[in-house]
Amino acid sequence: MPKNSISESVIKRLPRYYRFLGELMNSGVERISSGQLSELMKLTASQIRQDLNCFGGFGQQGYGYNVAGLREEIGRILGVDRQLPTIIIGAGNLGKAIAAHINFETRGCVLKGIFDIDPKITGETVADIAVRHIDELEKFCRDKKPVVAVLCIPKAATQEIADRLVDLGIRAFWNFSHYDLSAKHSSVAVENVHLGDSLLTLTYRANQMTDNG
């Protein structure tokens, strides 16, 4: 099955399937029906059957899905075994939190370097990696050839750094700044994280609870 046949909306849901299937595996579950998975993931069973039909062979009428097999196939599609060399730009609290909390390896990336502009931070060790000064970026990229960059820098600094990184071979940005990278760099992959949107959704729900309860 060619990868390109998977729609964007299914791709968006794959990491979540992958996570739930991992938790099921950890709990010793070997098979699960679309009905059970539906209840767990709050999707309709028909949505799940439709999504997972793309990967064929793991669901059997009346027997459910083979949890480990389905997870492995989804992992292969996502590329969890690829180990893309990754760098973090910005070692403030956010950069440090991401270096410390995200298990890059289980998500197809390997954290190779962390950079900051502030000489007070460079030399600090974060997630077993010494923070380098941003002036070392060119040499580091020539040597280590990172392809993924995590941007934990202010909006104002992002455009210049992103231009530099694209020239240095970065082709995917995990973007925590609020600068819209994809507008300028259509040839790179960009995943924007807007934590504020998530908080606004919660605010709405909290208010609904007060108003109705």
Residue 101 interacts with a copy of itself (CB under 8 A): yes or no: yes
**Helices (H) then strands (E): counts for the chain:** 8, 10
Q: Minimum Å distance from CB 23 to a copy of itself?
A: 9
Strand stretches in the chain, DSSP E? 31-32, 59-60, 64-66, 84-89, 109-116, 125-126, 129-133, 148-151, 172-175, 189-192
The pair of structure tokens assigned to 161 is: 């750094």
Among 72, 108, 159, 168, binds a copy of itself (CB under 8 A): 108
Residue 118 interacts with a copy of itself (CB under 8 A): yes or no: no
Residue 185 interacts with a copy of itself (CB under 8 A): yes or no: no
Identify which range of 47-55, 131-139, 158-166, 169-177 contacts a copy of itself by CB under 8 A: 169-177
Backbone angles phi, psi at 151, to 5 degrees: -100, 110
Whether 95 and 154 have beta carbons less than 8 Å apart is answered as: no
Residue 204 interacts with a copy of itself (CB under 8 A): yes or no: yes
Binding site for a copy of itself (CB under 8 A): 3-4, 11-12, 14-16, 18-19, 77-80, 82, 84, 92-94, 96-98, 100-104, 106-109, 147-148, 171-174, 188-191, 193-212
